[in-house]
Structure 1
Amino acid sequence: MSTPLGIIVFILFYAIWVNILLPGSWLSMFAGLVYGSLLGSIFVFIGAFLGAITTFVLVRTFLRHWINKRLDSFPKLQLIVQSITSEGLKLIILTRLSPAFPFGLLNLGYALTKVSFKDFTIGLVAIFPGTLLYCSLGSLAGEISKFDSIISNSSQFNFLTLIGTFSTALALFLVLRSVRNSSQSSS
């Protein structure tokens, strides 16, 4: 698995994993176990990046028009889509930092909006802290007995949890504020 071919296979497998909307936390921890924290994080990031871009392009190209036609009968959902588009990069970064929003579904959701490809791509950088956390936990798997003490005493874990919680709250605030402003201006 640590051969160049094994690394390429892992990255491609991770990209496919992301495309079929499966959660990447366990696969990220596996990468940490096999490759270590830093290399595992790099390989996971590359795989997640490739998978996210693939999902975004495929959905934008083949499904966006069809899905958006179905959403036309739901004005509240249209307001949310407009809000996401108007908040752009800052919302993408906040939702990527938050553990509350599933990675695969975000890729799908952003492809349905008018968020630019550039903002979507730049926003992917925000997955790196969570990737590093999961890969670091995976690298410790050889010593399972240490998991509990590391999670409970880890300033890195606590800091990333705080960032995730703050990002979730701020992302929800931005969307709700934008929806409220949009609905008031359309009244």
Structure 2
Amino acid sequence: MSADASTGAIRRRLAVLVALLVAGVGVLVFAPWKNWLLTGLEAARGLGPLGALAFVLVYALASVLVLPGSLLTLAAGFTWGLGWGTLVAWVAANVASNLSFAVGRFLARGWVSERTREMPRFAAIDRAIAGSGLRLVLLLRLSPLVPFNLLNYALAITQVRFRDYAAGSALGMLPGTLLYVYLGSSLQSLAALAAGSTPSGGTAQHALFWIGLVATVLSVVVVTRSARRELDQRLEREPDDDE
């Protein structure tokens, strides 16, 4: 494939990703998606395993379109209770995050690779993220400051290995999933879910917030130190300009 053809393919993929994100924003702002969700939940409650499977598929689609995942996790708690709700929501979140990662990697990674050839500092950060993959993904998933769906795409455009991404996500999403499912199981009605009037998580919610805040700081430290090391190694490999 020629360079021009390759560049054209990369741009077309990037355009598809942008279209997906715009579609997600359109649904979020203009479509009655909460009403659709409530109708679907009413149906899912009576379908047993098929209802859970449908929920996983809806969760995955919502993630690709960057729709809020927290509401769906609350819905799992309301629909299936704490035990089964946690399992269904955790499986759904993992399927959703991995699918979004695959979509982002396929559609946007080529464009990012082209940009990093001209930006040594970004290239160093890119390699640093890959080198600290599992640890960094775990820390970022624990962080309350990084939106779930945006993180899927943000990590997809880096060099992080899929196995590190999947394992770090699976572990890091579990505490938040458990808390949101618990809150959802405490709701009295679907109307309360639609209105966003969720009960307070009390001590557990505060603890998760502070743990996530520490994880955010640690993730920044990990990336910064690793990127600085990568830059130093790059400079050592490059010949001096005077030679």
Q: Percent identity?
A: 34
Question: 1:38–1:132: 8 Å Cα contact kept in structure 2?
Answer: no
Shift of 1:175: 0.9
Question: 1:45–1:131: 8 Å Cα contact kept in structure 2?
Answer: yes
> Are 2:172 and 1:136 aligned?
no
Shift of 1:14: 0.4
Query: Per-residue displacement from partner, 1:133-179 (whole Å, max 9, x unpaired)?
Result: 111111112187982xx43xx33223212221111111111111122
| Aligned residue identity for 2:224 | L
Q: Which segment is superposed worse, 155-164 or 57-66?
A: 57-66
> Are 2:238 and 1:183 aligned?
no
Shift of 1:50: 1.1
Larger Rg: 2
Question: 2:183–2:198: 8 Å Cα contact kept in structure 1?
Answer: no
Query: Per-residue displacement from partner, 1:38-94 (whole Å, max 9, x unpaired)?
Result: 222211211111122222223333431133213434433322212211111100110
**Structure 1 residue ranges, 4+ long, deviating more than 4 angstroms after superposition:** 143-146
Q: Which segment is superposed worse, 88-97 or 3-12?
A: 3-12
CA–CA distance in 2 between the matches of 1:72 and 1:23? 34
Hey, which of these two has a bigger chunk of helix by percent? 1
RMSD: 2.2
Q: Larger RCO: Structure 1 or Structure 2 (Cα < 8 Å, ≥ 6 residues apart)? A: 1
SS at match of 1:141: coil
Q: Which runs of 5+ in 1 are unaligned?
A: none
TM-score computed with the length of structure 1 as normaliser? 0.86
> Are 2:173 and 1:127 aligned?
yes
Q: Which runs of 5+ in 2 are unaligned?
A: 1-43, 236-243
TM-score computed with the length of structure 2 as normaliser? 0.68
> Are 2:112 and 1:67 aligned?
yes
